[in-house]
Structure formats: structure tokens, C-alpha cells
Amino acid sequence: MSLSYYTLDQDFGGRIQFDKLCELCSKLFDSEAAWGIEPYYTIVNDRRYRFHHDIRTLERSADAGCHLCNLILSQINLPDLERMRKDLDEAFVSSCRQIGILIHRIEHYYKLQVNAWRRYDSPPSGYFAEFDHIKQQAWSKIAELDVNPEEQDYTNEERSTSYLNCSNATLLQIAQWMGECLTSHSKCFDIQTVTATRDILPLRLLDLAPALHPDLIKLEYTEPLPVHTVYATLSHCWGGHCKTSLTTSSLAKFQTGIHLNTLPRTFQEAVLLTRKLGIRYLWIDALCIVQDSHQDWSHQASLMGDFYANSSLTISATGSSDSDGGLYHSRSPLSVWPCRITAKWDCFPVDKLVLNRPGWAEERALEPLSTRGWAFQEWLLSKRTIHLSKDQVRWECHCLAASEVYPKGLEDHDIDFHGLPTKSVIKLLESEDASDLWRRIRTDYSEKHLTVATDKLTAFAGIARMVHKVLKSPKEDYVAGLWRPELMTELLWERHTPRKEVKVIRKDHLSQYIAPSWSWASIDGCIWYPLLEVYNEDQSGVYADIVEAKTFPQGDEYGPVNSGFLIIRGSLYYVELASSLDTSSKYRTREWKASFTQGLFSTHKWSSASLDNDSYTRSAPSTKDSFFFLPMRSTIRSSETFESKLIGLLLEKTGNGVHQYRRSGLLTLYGLVKDILVSCSNGLLPIDSHHDKNVDTSSLHTIEIV
């Protein structure tokens, strides 16, 4: 393979006709009357609704060149596509009513929303017997486009007909973005001094200079190189297997030369792209870390955050699920570029409109790499990132989020990153809400996938080191993923169902130790902090006292740990926790009932619980188990009409000593907290009151949680 193998100038040319619409799409904007008669359309308060194509005719219309149908189809995710095809083939829904178009106004702008008639896989008994209930619940949004006046269109005026996500024109645009960042972005420089916590080079780099042959590269030790040597990094999905990687047996051979033909496609294209951008050195984990040496991998992995923070550019194989997926992807230009139309009715203040996919990047546009745990750190810490998504190239630095369609970028407030790590969060870490943001970063990270579960703390170490630098917090304040200065709140995480379905491995399936049970890193699943979700909090009580928290790192203070413990003083109560599944709701919610002995907390109105070892499934009819409840904090409202809550840890004995426990979950009691406290026979008082000589402290326990 030689450089001439890759040509990025091929395009559809005259075969592409932008702004062409099919008959149904044309009628959306022709006139008010074109919306038909009831029940096929409605007009209420600037909301217009009518039925459109079914999924099969939508796909055929897109193939025939309808620009709007292409944009709509590009927004529908694969599971929805497959479900809609099945619904149509099985005659669950009529072809004339499967897809509906809603045009509605939100403040000063409009949205074109696409809805589909939805069939639930496991509806409750009798669910489809009531037509009104179906009408209310069975529609779901499958796509959405922005509708803007032409004068407010900030997209690139020249729409490319290239069928690749990266063309030679795109390479020129990348070079321009890099040049602007290096010469004009003073804020980027300021923030980069924060993200780069250690001024180091990787131990090894790939030398791409084609001194011997254009198809050869070689591995070099960096000791002779200046510490500020310019290099690029690759962010990618391994996909479970990589056909070529550095091992102890191939180390000498790699130093002699590596032929590009022996590399996976993603690595080949990363080498060629790095050369085209004029960068001589490239770091790829699979080729620069000895994969069969635990010592080399552990040491290099602990520095990986610095490798990305110190690199000049991160090339992200955002659209590929494995090392053979490549950087370059075919696309339809009609599914990427905005559609310009002329509206002939009075819904809009102007007649020249632009229909476009929303924002810098929809959630799907950054998948699958955005779902990976290692990529979370790589993207957040990198100075500059080129995302080679399936549809187009996107640029991200601390000052600019841009793309092929939006080359000048968007304002920060216009960018919705869907829980993805972005460089903008680093700017916010110095604010008063830094601790809440720090918890949000960990919450978002917990949603990401790791092929190796024991990488949980390792893949997050670079972020932790950077955040502690920003917060001016010493390394001793980092305890297995938690922040010591706010440990009372930090301990109150709970297992959480993410925004979208992800594969979660139960805690008891983990074969190796990762972290103490009181750390969020101990579970292979998603977490959140429910205590933060409060409204108009007037006061709160603290009902436990943390005596000591200690972990024993394997090496790096921000990396994996061998063990840890928490010594805490508070009140312990025996509780029986029962749950049942509410099958009357389409959401199949789980209801919890907490029962205490001796009438304790008898006045609480209801409770919610989250078990770390989520051993039941969504379909399990009921569960019942016993725990110890350790109250931690309460949020109390001043108004008698509002419910407050008391939140604490669910614990189980380990069997190793009378006072040793492990965390099992989180329990929240809702009601008028002052009444809940009065109902406790020994009196549950804020921990500060325990030092009062007039207070009975017989109910206090000092325990160890491991």
C-alpha cells in the first residue's frame, strides 16, 4: 500500500442535487391548505402536524434523492429502523399512519419533529384494549431537525458532494483550525497548562518519517528527543482484538521497521493522516506499549492521561467499533448538509428557510467511540481533537467546537454534548459549583464501557489528577474515586439506569477486586447522586461522622487500589426491604417498602432504594431482603406542605469481625423528616448533637466499611 492508494477527492459530482424534495416533503411547505383535512393534520398554537411516509417509502424516497428524507433517515437509529420495518411488515400499523411530521415553535425558533407509532415489546395486560391510552402513549420521537431563517444559517455556504467523511478540502480545513488554535487561542494555552499535569513524553513513539520507504514506519525510544517534541495520539476502539500489537517478541522488529500493510486499517489511515498534517511522530497504545508485559502496561497506563494532554493533536476514530474500522467512511452528502427551502404559508416570519441537523454533534454522531471509558479521558484531556465520525469531521479545542458543516463553530451555549466529556467543563471547574461538576464528570464516566472491568480507576486516573490540580487539592484527598473534602456527600451515590440502555455487569460477577464497596468504582454500572436532585433546600442534617478513610494504591495515587476501608460513627437500624413491580405502568416501575423494628421511622410516607448488587431483573415480580440502615444526611424543607428526605447507606455484615460491614445500596425515606426523627426510640440527632453531654449516645456505633 502506498500513499497514492488513498485519494480523498472522489465525489458524487453531478449526481447530487441539493434541496430536491419528494412530493410529500414539498407539501409540508407549499401552503396551509396542503396540510389536508382532519384527522390527517392539526393546527394548534403554531403546531402543525400531519402524516408522512412509512419507513419503506421514506427509504425509497431518500434513495431517489429527496434531500429532506435523507436528513430525516440519517437521524433514525438502527434499532428504531428495524422495529419500524417489522411493525410495517407485520401490519401492526397502517402505512399511511406510521410516521408523522410535527412542526412547532419553541420561543423564537422552530423544530421539525418526526414521530413514529410505537409498539411496546412487553405491554401490560389489556394495554392495547383502550384506544385513548394507545393514542397517548404509542408515539415516540425518532428524529428532529432545526428550522432556521436563511439569514441565521451559520453552515458552510459551499456544500461538498464528497461521499467520504474526509476530503482534501477537509484536510485544508483541519490545517486551518490547527493554525488558528496555535496562533490565536490564548484561552486554549491557559487551559492546556492545567490539563498537562506532568511535562513528559511517552516512552516510545512511532517515527513516521518515510526515510527508507513510504510504506515503512518504526518504533523509537523518546529519551534522545526534546521533551516538547510534537506528536499526535490516536483514540480508538480495540474491538476486543487487534491483529498487530507490540509484544516482547516483536519489540526489536518494530524498532527496525513496521510495514503499513501489517497494520489494522485504522492504524494505517492514522499514519497517513498524521503525515498529511505534517506531524512526524504518532502514539498508538497498541504499538507503543508492550501488551504482554504487565509491568510496562501498568506504568504506561498510569501516564496515559499525560500522553494525550501533551500531544499536539488527538486523531479520534470516532465512527469505528474496532481497529479495522478505519478513519474514512462513505456517506451521502444529502444526509449531512442542510436543505434550503421556500415556504409558501404564514407559519414562518420569512419564506427562505434552512433545515439542518441540530448542533455540533448529535449523540449518535460521536458513537461508537463516545461509549468507551478510555475515550472519555482521552477526549477530555487532549488539547485538540479531530473526530472522524461516520458523517463528517469534527474539530474540538478549548475555544472552538466546529465541523465540516459548521466550520466557524457554535457558541458554547448552543452545544449539547449529551453527557460526553468536553473541554468546556475544565473552564467551569474553578467555579463555586466545582464539586458538583466533579461529581457530574464521574457520573458521566460511569456510563461508559470498559472491556476490562479492572481498568475502572486506571482509565480515569488522568482526569482525577487534572481535577485535583484545578481544585488545588492534594493527592491524599483522592480515595478510590471519591473526594475527601466532601466525603459525606460523595458516599451517597447510587446505581442508576442510564439515559440509554447499556450492558451492565452485576457486582457479584466481577472476578477481581476493583475498589472498596463504598466507592462507585466497585460496581460495573452507572451511578448518580440523588441527594443533589433537590429543590429549594433550606437546611440539612448530618447523622454520621467519618473517622477515617484510607486506601492502599497499587502504585499511582490516582490509579487502582489493592484495598481500602472507611471508619464511620453513627446510628444503625435493622431494616427489611421489600420490592414489587408495578405492572400497571408501561414504565414497569419498582415500588419499595422499608420496614423497621420497634416502630422506627414509622411516619415516613414512602421510600426508594437502590441495591449495588442488582440481582433482580426488570421482570422479577418481587424481592425481599434484610440490611442495616446507616442514616447519613437529610434535606429538610421549611414548609410543612413539602416532603423532605432522609438518606443513608444499606449495609451487610462481611462475617470478618463484629463491626465490619460492606455497602449494599442506598435507602431514601420521604416524608416530614422531623416527624421521622421523632419516631425513632433512641432519637436520631444531627452528629453535632452527639457531643452534647445531655444526649444519650447509646445508639451510636463505630463501624468499618470495606
User: Phi first, then psi: what are they for 261, rounded to 5°?
Assistant: -60, -20
Is 571 in the same domain as 463?
yes
Is 479 in the same domain as 580?
yes
What whole-number distance in Å separates Cα of residue 235 and Cα of residue 421?
14
Cα-based distances in Å from 11 to 160, 163, 338, 344, 397: 8, 5, 18, 33, 29
**Is 160 inside any structural domain?**
no
Instruction: State the sign of the Cα–Cα–Cα–Cα dihedral 441, 443, 449, 450.
Output: positive
Is 603 in the same domain as 524?
yes
Q: Burial level of 500, CB count in 10 A (0-12/13-18/19+)?
A: exposed
Is 605 in the same domain as 472?
yes
Is 130 in the same domain as 181?
no
Is 422 in the same domain as 291?
yes
What whole-number distance in Å separates Cα of residue 171 and Cα of residue 327?
13
What whole-number distance in Å separates Cα of residue 626 and Cα of residue 577?
6
Is 469 in the same domain as 562?
yes
Q: Model confidence over 458-468: pLDDT tens digits?
A: 999 999 998 89
Is 321 in the same domain as 455?
no
Based on the structure, what is the number of domains in the chain?
Answer: 3
**Is 356 inside any structural domain?**
no
Is 584 in the same domain as 703?
yes
Asked if residue 39 has a cis previous peptide bond (ω within 30° of 0), the answer is: yes
**Is 355 inside any structural domain?**
no
Residue 434 is predicted with a pLDDT of 78
Is 56 in the same domain as 183?
no
- Residue 645, classed as helix, strand or coil, is strand
428 pairs with which residues across the strands?
A: none
**Is 26 inside any structural domain?**
yes
- Residue 572, classed as helix, strand or coil, is coil
Domain termination site, one of 427, 454, 470: 427
Q: Model confidence over 121-172: pLDDT tens digits?
A: 444 333 333 333 333 346 788 899 998 888 887 788 889 999 999 999 999 9
Is 529 in the same domain as 648?
yes
Centre a 10 Å sphere on the Cβ of residue 257 and count the other Cβ atoms it contains.
14
Centre a 10 Å sphere on the Cβ of residue 581 and count the other Cβ atoms it contains.
18
Cell, residue 273: 493522516
What whole-number distance in Å separates Cα of residue 117 and Cα of residue 320?
31
| Three-point CA angle 180, 185, 191, nearest 5° | 135
Instruction: Spell out, as residue ranges, where the chain has pLDDT lower than 70.
Output: 1-14, 31-49, 107-108, 118-138, 192-196, 212, 346-348, 410-433, 498-511, 531-540, 581-590, 598-605, 614-622, 636-643, 672-699
Residue 138 is predicted with a pLDDT of 61
**Is 383 inside any structural domain?**
yes
Task: Name the pTM for this structure.
Answer: 0.87
Residue 665 is predicted with a pLDDT of 94
Beta strands, E only, 543-676 = 544-553, 561-571, 573-581, 590-596, 606-611, 622-636, 644-653, 660-671
Domain termination site, one of 152, 179, 214: 152
Give residue 642's identity as a one-letter amino acid code.
F
Is 147 in the same domain as 218?
no
**624 lies in which domain range?**
436-706
What whole-number distance in Å separates Cα of residue 284 and Cα of residue 234?
5
Rounded percentage of the chain residues whose pLDDT exceeds 90: 47
Domain termination site, one of 427, 447, 463: 427
**Is 474 inside any structural domain?**
yes
**Is 389 inside any structural domain?**
yes
